[in-house]
Structure 1
Amino acid sequence: MNYQQYKEFIKTSIDNIRKAHNENYLSIFAGAGISAESKLPKWGDLINELQKCLYGDTKKNEDYLVLAEKFYNQFGESFYYQTLKSLIPNNAKRNDLHLEIVKLNIKNLITTNWDNLFEQAINEEGRFFNIIKSDKDIGGSTGFAKFIKMHGSLDENNIVFKEQDYLEYSNIFPLIENYIKGVFSTDVVILLGYSLSDQNVKQIISWVNSHSKSVKPIYFIKTAKEFDRIEFEFYKNKNIHILYTQEHFGKQGHYEELISFLEEIKAKPTDISKNCNAIFSSTKQLRRMIFNFDYEAMKKRISEISLKNSSVLNELEKAFLFYHLGKGIQAFEVLKTTSKQAFRERNYDIWYISLYNMHNMPLFYNRFDNKEMEMLQTYHKERISIDLNENFYELPFYKREQLKYLRDIGTTLDTNLIEAYQLKEKALKDLEVWSSSDSSFSFNNNQTKAYKIFKETLLKYFHFLIINENQEKFFQQMTEIFFSFMAIFQIQEKRRGNNKTIPITLKSEQIYCILKYDNNQALIQKLNQYFQETNIIFKTERDIDLIEIFKNISSQFVNIDIFETEFSRLFKNFLVLSAWIELDQNTFDAIAEICQEKIDEDILRNGYDSMGYFITKQWDKFKMEIKTEIKFSILYRLLFSFIRKLTENFRGYLIVLESSRCMKNLLYILQQYNIKLDLMQQTLINTLIQKIIGLPNDTQIFISNFFVCDLFPITKNNDGVNQNVKKFLLNIWEKNQNRKTIQEDEAYLLLTHNMHRIRILSSEQYHKIFFELKNKYTNRETTKKFNNEQPIQEQLFKQAIQEDALDRILVLLKNCENSFKKE
């Protein structure tokens, strides 16, 4: 082999060693040269000290092993160990070479040294090693990496040093010997800190030669020496490949070349998200699909993967897309298959991520199906049985380095959140200082840093990962932090004298996280808390298509359920967030049309509050002249879709009227427009009135108070239907002149107030009823008589209802009285 060929050989050899380390089949033998930097004697120095004890200043050219045996025979075992322990003291300190070797976390670390320096490094690094100093230790070892002191340990008084020790090694350490001989067959072996003339190297060579057919390459590291072709070829024939590190790293010296070599063979951890990029030509494709809630694109991608012989990475992607489609069972099944296949292929990152996703997978059933329920129960048991920490330690070392972020994700999220909160608090403190001095204000810098934390967390940690409920809270809290920064910005601008509308641009990832992770009521609460008294309005980046996002979400919101579903929550969250966004007429109309479709499909039962919030907030902006281009007359379509549903199902929709102010607010807005009803709409209102007449009296009054009275003003341009509604209201008012209960009086007073408000009743009629009921209920107390004919619990319950009704009518009387003062 010439010099140039050797240069290529050493590069290839280091690649082979790195591969063995990556795949956990690397073992290292460490000799006395490793401890030399700790000022411990080398082999020759040790022999010189023993020779002085035996012969004084007389020099004898004697075999080292024989000399050691003579010393033992001359002075006895006790002085023998006493002398060696003085030369290799317990208080010697490990050096960086010990640390760097331990950090490699290799399968087997084997040393012929007797000192305790590797043990110091193991304890300092907190690594898990089975420490083996004698045969009795090897039997109790576990699955952790092994640190084997093959020549015993001074603290055990069982070292191999004398000629007899080497000759009887097989009898003294039979289990250790057999294990080490097996290492040469299974692992790539490196010899560090030895000289080629070392007796220990000769012993290893003899073992290698006895198993030459099955032995993997053995690399001898020789520092601070140039390539010696004859020496190299000689040892190559014995399956010992010398790596002259000076030829690869330059002339650095023994210690520095060893440090460079250990750094070179370390696995180079890569970000797992980079592996995911291989699926797409660009991560933007996946990001756009997810951030736009593009479910059709997700289904198409799943079909593409299913139609070809896909890789485990493709299958991981498929499970991730199933999860986003709300198909937890299908996602779990794909992950089960993928985890097994990835393990067979030794694709450990996909294996671990698959188990992680299975562990975090939300498993719900959407219909009452016994078979599906049994399947879910089975999968749930499998899910909770996954021990991610235990699985982590089954990974090869280099994969642990890559996937450590995933194991520690909870801690990482907590740390990131704390940092974001600190940035918010700093912004508040800076604002306080800025308000009382001429100092500069670093709001934008703090906000940028917080946003960077959020975005890096989202894009780095959640590529193809399913996050659990606890991890979702990170994004909920980050949303609140963003809102805090926006509110701080508003205060800053006001103090600068800027009272104009303040636009805040929302990015696609912010919109996604708000819609995906926030609870609907919590989102309303946050928005009201931070922006109710401000002139902030949200804008979106140019490439964000709100209509497309809402259409995508509504395409999956197709069923009404007793419980909130993923897609009903997304639908409502979109309406709530859009209430604060500056919309053009086209976008507003498109949102209204989609809401109308859901009313027509009879699946908006739990979404009227969110729709009402959207309509009302947009109207408030219109009144405040924050924006003026929106025309709200299109909302009449929503009204008549609702009327149609109300006539079909009074019982179901009375709950909507009672629990939500949506229709009341919508009717108020439409009253501001001069609407001319077409024939179909007039017929629909007349049909509604006719059907109400057939309902019980208390229901008629309820619908009149919560719907018909507000419907009446928009019929003003259509005399026929206007008179029909008016006639109905007067009729229901007149026939309820005689009432018996507080509840009936309360409903009648409210009806009188509403009919006066829409100018069907005169002020005199209103005042008459008001004073009649005021005199009746002012200073009145509910009866507190009990009898023995009914259970006391029933009587107490009725008493509570009466007291509640009395409280309500007194509040209503007060409100009516206040309305007189405004006339």
Structure 2
Amino acid sequence: MQEISAYKQYKEFIKTSIDNIRKAHNENYLSIFAGAGISAESKLPKWGDLINELQKRLYGETKKNEDYLVLAEKFYNQFGESFYYQTLKSLIPDSTKKNDLHLGIVRLNIKNLITTNWDNLFEQAINEEGRFFNIIKSDKDIGSSTGFAKFIKMHGSLDENNIVFKEQDYLEYSKHFPLIENYIKGVFSTDTVILLGYSLSDQNVKQIISWVNSHSKSVKPIYFIKTAKEFDRIEFEFYKNKNIHILYTQELFEKKGHYEELLRFLKEIKAKPKDISQSYSGIIFSTKQIEQIGRMIFNFDYNAMKKRIDEISLKSSSVLNELEKAFLLYHLRQGIQAFEVLKINSKQAFRERNYDVWYISLYNMHNMPLSYNGFDDKEMERLQTYHKERILIDLNESFYELPFYKREQLKHIRDIGTTLDTNLIEAYQLKEKALKDLEIWSSSDSSFSFNSNQTKADGIFKKTLSEYFSFLIINGNQEKFFEQMIEIFFSFLAIYQIQEKRRNNNKTIPITLKSERIYCILKYFDNKTLMQKLNQYFQKTNIIFKTERDIDLIGIFKNISSQFVNIDIFETEFSRLFKNFLVLSAWIELDQNTFDAIIEICQEKIDEDLLWNSYDSMGYFITKQWNKFKMETKTEIKFSILDRILFSFIRKLTENFSGYLIILESSPRCMQNLLFILQQYNIEYNIELDLIQQALINTLIKEIMKLPNDTQIFISNYLICDLFPITKNNDGVNQNVKKFLLSIWEKNQNRKTIQEDEVYLLLTCNMHRVCILNSEQYQKIFLELKNKYMNRETAKKFNNEQPIHEQLLKQAMQENALDRILALLKDCENSFKKE
């Protein structure tokens, strides 16, 4: 009975071990030790055969029963190093060919491939498969290795004449291979390790066991693959005590023989996990609960989340509710508090034997992104403590503490990281197919219908999102997956939009965005990437999004902005969401009420000094909405509200020149585009400035006049010149602005440096554009600078045939300003030609 029970337990153990190995393979912490048995199918001698051959050459037909390592050393001492290596190379020739085991191993996603073999068969396999490995044959190779997987010949290589074979080699291993030895010992602590192609009596295995036992507290379980043998309980238990777990492959694949069993084992490592939706049919939260949680999350309704947390805290709560509380705290960016709730909840769930909540709590603790959000020393101490606790959570060990029936139910949660990686790979492949489809449909008149790739991508997206919300899973690795899925969504929408415009006489048909798509777009992209992707996919088609009727865009933006209450050196979660909302909303069909609300919130953030890094996103939103207004005659948005943004910025600039000049310099297009839109809008609707606005402009001019000359010119170029046209219906302030600009222009006519010439030409160009300078004044400055720079640059390019002012050229080369002014001069010249 004992043997039967042990056998059943072992069958379960071997399946679990394969899962662990597969997970390590997929997550890139698998290391393989490969012995002489891997090369046996290539007809190379095994260890015993090699020793017999040396014994025969040393003693003839006389049989000696002595230690193999001593025999090798006697052979070396008798014949010398040259004959020693000559003999071994004849027994292990370079002409030997690799076999399918070598190829199968190097095809795996392994972190380290470590071999005690001296042959070159793995090198052959690496070259044939085109794999990137750092090949390490001696200590000197360790230092030059890069970020690729490592192939380590821990016992040297015949082509280097540095093999480990004799007794003295083993005794002095630490002396001759200290870096390799220390690296390999570290592998046992960080990686899942498999021993392939060895026998348990192998001297090399004994060496590895010795290393493992000397670091037994920090090493992970090591798997020894034994082929063509049945399960041996006594042997298994013996080596288990040494942290060596024997996997008898015959129990997996029946009796197939050494070579075939190893090949099947390698295939098993690469086998894809089952679809997670088939792994667990039980839902621990009701559909209604999941919908309520989803509404809060998708709408970024932080107040509702806080209210729900308070409700849970005020009543005698269940472990299920506490799990929800931690999930909501995580979405409020309160990772430390979420961790503390989960820590208490996991213990309570275990006491109640609620294994679902216990395991999910541990899983979320292990995967909780913990970050420091303040300057409180106690908070920092808690953070460091929880980091240590999180690292110590062994999800695999906890998994095997579950009752047997629960393991099968919760297996997909344990493996969700692996599944996510698999889905990410599939998502990437689907994206590449979609991009090819987009290229075809962009240049083809063929009709288009959503194909199986789109349906498959949509299914993966919905299923994964459902998993996270159905079980309230926290995993910091999902960002890249959802980013890829949204990009696939964009590519299919681009194809669809091309076809719809063809069917509707080039009219743009708005496409509906659902709440979960909006959430993922805002949540999982960084701002620059989102802007780049929207431009990449929709710039040519000028796509317009609309939202489902029950989506409250104003509410979402207010929710996000309510949390955007401070700025930091680094971008915060809420400042990123704020910017992403503006960028996405630039492409959405808005009504006047929504547009005004977005502008009002932006104005509030300017007034609160919070919009420092968001001006580019705001400018992007305003410009895209204006372009839609100009192209779509049915759009009825009035843009006069933009003057609130302008005059809030002017007020802040007047109060803090040094700070807001940085914004004007880093995001010049924002204010220039905003002023251009107001100019165009004011021309059409003949809008006048109110008294407060006029007073702000006059105050701004007065304060600018106190600043250094170069700052006055900078502000004039990037703000005041474009401000002038919108004052045309207010004569007093209009003349004040004009007078200021003319005074700046006149007092800078005597310039000494190339930088001064550059900004003066730009000022002249801008003042002519807004009709303060006439064409004669403009051309006079242009011709003066053209003669000064364009002719000299020509002379510079043609071997100095004309005299050049040496100091001017030296300065130009040092300060890299000559190219800019030449480009500006050429732009001016082109504008004259158009006139």
1:324-352 Cα distance to aligned partner (Å, 9 max, x none):
11111111111111122222222222222
Residues of 1 paired with 2:346 and 2:810: CA distance? 62
8 Å contact 1:332–1:358 — kept in the other structure?
A: yes
Amino acid at match of 1:682: Q
Distance 1:632 1:444 in 2: 41
Is this contact kept in 2: 1:294–1:549, CA < 8 A? yes
- Number of the residue aligned with 1:760: 772
Superposed displacement of residue 505, structure 1: 1.0
Kindly tell me: are residues 680 and 801 of structure 1, through their superposed partners in 2, closer, same or farther at Cα, counting changes over 3 Å?
Answer: farther
Task: Name the counterpart of 1:656.
Answer: 663
User: In the aligned structure 2, how far is the partner of 1:807 from the partner of 1:434?
Assistant: 41
Query: In 2, are the aligned partners of 1:677 and 1:717 still within 8 Å (CA)?
Result: yes
1:727 equivalent in structure 2: 739
8 Å contact from structure 1 (residues 131, 146) kept in 2: no
- Corresponding letter in the other structure for 1:276: F
CA distance in structure 1 between the aligned counterparts of 2:473 and 2:577, rounded to whole angstroms: 17
Q: Distance in 2 between matches of 1:436 and 1:683?
A: 55
Please tell me whether the aligned partners of residues 430 and 488 of structure 2 are also in contact (alpha carbons under 8 angstroms).
Answer: no
2:765 and 2:828 in contact (8 A); partners too: yes
Q: Secondary structure at the match of 1:334?
A: helix
Summarize the alignment of residues 39-438 of structure 1 with structure 2, pairs less than 5 Å apart. Answer: 132=233, 270-271=280-281, 274-277=283-286, 281-421=288-428, 423=430
From 516, 522, 526, the equivalent of 2:523 is 516
Is residue 713 of structure 1 aligned with residue 721 of structure 2?
no
**Partners of 1:759 and 1:440 in 2: how far apart?**
51
Whether contact under 8 Å (1:490, 1:534) holds in the other structure is yes
Q: Secondary structure at the match of 1:698?
A: helix
1:424-477 CA-to-partner distances (Å, cap 9, x unmatched) read 566677788999999974425543332222111101234454544432100001
The alpha-carbon distance between structure 1 residues 758 and 130, as it changes in their structure 2 partners (threshold 3 A), is same
Amino acid across the alignment from 2:735: Q
Matched, 1:638 2:645: yes
- Whether contact under 8 Å (1:392, 1:400) holds in the other structure is yes
Q: Mean alpha-carbon deviation: is it higher for 447-456 or for 668-677? A: 447-456
Deviations 1:634-674 (A, max 9, x none): 11111111111111101111111111111111110000122
Q: 2:501·2:509 contact (CA, 8 Å) conserved in 1?
A: no
Q: Is the 8 A contact 2:435 2:491 kept in 1?
A: no
Aligned amino acid, residue 742 of structure 2: L
- The letter for the 2-side match of 1:774 is K
Is 1:595 aligned to 2:602, yes or no? yes
Counterpart-to-counterpart distance in 2, 1:504 and 1:689? 46
Q: CA deviation at 1:633?
A: 0.9
| Percentage of matched positions with identical amino acids | 79
Are 2:770 and 1:742 aligned?
no
Q: 1:379 to 1:708 in 2, by over 3 A?
A: same
Seen in structure 2, the aligned counterparts of structure 1 residues 498 and 741 have a Cα distance that, compared at 3 Å, is: same
* Residues 354-379 of structure 1: CA deviation (Å, up to 9, x unaligned): 22212222222222232222222222
Change (3 A) 1:808 1:468: farther
- Counterpart among 551, 567, 571 of residue 574 in structure 2: 567
Secondary structure of 1:536's match?
coil
Matched residue, 2:700: 688
Judge conservation of contact 1:430–1:443 (CA < 8 Å) in 2: no
Q: Which runs of 5+ in 1 are unaligned?
A: 1-25, 31-122, 148-267, 785-794
1:80 aligned partner: none
Contact 2:280 2:409 in 1 (8 A): yes
8 Å Cα contact 1:363/1:380 also seen in 2: yes
| Contact kept in structure 2, 1:293 and 1:553, CA below 8 Å | yes
Aligned to 2:834: 822
Structure 2 vs 1, CA of residues 619 and 772 (structure 1 numbering), >3 Å: closer, same or farther? same
Q: Secondary structure at the match of 1:505?
A: strand
Instruction: Show CA shifts across 1:743-791 (max 9, x none).
Output: 111111111110000100111111111111111112446999xxxxxxx
Amino acid at match of 1:662: C
Q: Deviation of residue 490 (structure 1)?
A: 2.6
Question: TM-score scaled by structure 1?
Answer: 0.64
Q: Cα RMSD over matched residues?
A: 3.5
Q: Matched residues in 2 for 1:654 and 1:438: separation? A: 50
Q: Residue 586 in 1 paired to residue 593 in 2?
A: yes
How far has the Cα of 1:821 moved from its partner? 2.1
SS at match of 2:697: helix
State TM-score, norm by structure 2: 0.63
Q: What SS is found at the alignment partner of 1:443?
A: coil
**1:799/1:411 Cα in 2 relative to 1: closer, same or farther (>3 Å)?**
farther
Residue 551 (structure 1) aligned with residue 558 (structure 2): yes
- The letter of the residue matching 2:538 is F
Helix, strand or coil at the partner of 1:539: strand
After superposition, residues 441-520 of structure 1 pair within 5 angstroms as 441-443=448-450, 446-463=453-470, 465-494=472-501, 496=503, 498-520=505-527
Could you tell me how far apart the structure 2 residues matched to 1:359 and 1:386 are? 6
Q: Is 1:607 paired with 2:614?
A: yes
Residue 504 and residue 446 in structure 1: after superposition, are their counterparts in 2 closer, same or farther (change >3 A)?
A: farther
Contact 1:270 1:402 in 2 (8 A): yes
d(CA) in 2 for partners of 1:299, 1:440: 49
Contact 1:320 1:464 (C-alpha < 8 Å) held by counterparts: no
Distance 1:415 1:495, change over 3 A: farther
- Report the 3-state secondary structure (helix = DSSP H, G, I; strand = E; otherwise coil) of the residue aligned with 1:394: coil
Equivalent position of 1:676 in the other structure: 688
AA of the residue aligned to 1:343: F
Equivalents in 1 of 2:585, 2:321: separation in Å? 35
CA deviations on 1:97-150 (whole Å, 9 max, x unpaired) are xxxxxxxxxxxxxxxxxxxxxxxxxx99x9xx9964699879969999999xxx
CA deviations over 1:297-327 (Å, ceiling 9, x no partner):
0000000000111111111111111111111
Q: Does the CA-based 8 Å contact 1:515-1:573 persist in structure 2?
A: yes
Which AA in structure 1 matches 2:388?
A: K
Contact 1:752 1:766 in 2 (8 A): yes
CA 1:782 to 1:400, structure 2 compared with 1: closer, same or farther past 3 Å? farther
In structure 2, the residue matched to 1:792 is none
Q: Specify the SS of the correspondent of 1:449.
A: helix
Contact 1:546 1:587 in 2 (8 A): yes
Q: Deviations over 1:505-524 (max 9, x none)?
A: 11110000000111100000
Change in 2 beyond 3 A, CA 1:367/1:782: farther
**What is the letter of the counterpart of residue 312 of structure 2?**
I
Per the alignment, do residues 401 and 296 of structure 1 end up closer, same or farther by CA in structure 2, a change over 3 Å counting? same
SS at match of 1:552: helix
1:810 aligns with 2:822: yes
CA, structure 1 residues 821+369, in 2 after alignment: closer, same or farther (shift >3 Å)? farther
Report the AA paired with residue 652 of structure 1.
G
Gaps of 5+ in 2: 9-223, 249-277, 797-806
Q: CA deviation at 1:577?
A: 0.2
CA contact 2:327–2:474 (8 Å) conserved in 1? no
**Counterpart code for 1:346:** R
